[in-house]
Amino acid sequence: MADGDIPQIEVSALPVTFDDSVVLLDVREPDEWQRGHVAGAQHIPLGDVPARIDEIDRDATLYVICHAGGRSQRVAQYLVRNGFEPTNVTGGMLSWVQAGRPVCTDDGNTGTV
């Protein structure tokens, strides 16, 4: 698969919950994550992905998300080169919120994007 051929998915087509078989990898910075994220998402900031790639489940269905879709596209390209089959979330967390999907903070309160 070429870098430009990363599959894309609209938020409306994503699962509502994530478990061991489905990973939503959030590659935003720690301050963005703390303001609000998807419950059950895995957080590895873009710059940490190479060092932490072994933390990503190779057997799970993998979706990559960021704020608007650009950083997650770059991470998805990197993951493809390393044997993963990721799908980029079109529009990122902005689309997630626009679709009315919930966002939380680490303490379980309602988050913001």
Convert the pLDDT of each residue in 63-101 to its tens digit.
999 999 999 999 999 999 999 999 999 999 999 999 999
Q: What is the DSSP string of 53-84?
A: GGGS-TTSEEEEE-SSSHHHHHHHHHHHHTT-
Question: Which CATH fold would you assign to the domain 3-98?
Answer: Oxidized Rhodanese; domain 1 (3.40.250)
Q: Determine the average pLDDT of the residues in 39-52.
A: 97
Of the listed 66, 76, 79, 89, which one is catalytic? 66
Domain coordinates in residue numbering, the chain: 3-98
Contact at 8 Å (CB) between 41 and 15? no
pLDDT band at 48 (very low <50, low <70, confident <90, very high): very high
| 88-97 burial: b if 16+ Cβ within 10 Å, else e | bbbbbbebbb
Q: What strand order describes the sheet that includes 22-26?
A: 8-9, 86-89, 61-65, 22-26, 42-43
Q: Is 104 a catalytic residue?
A: no
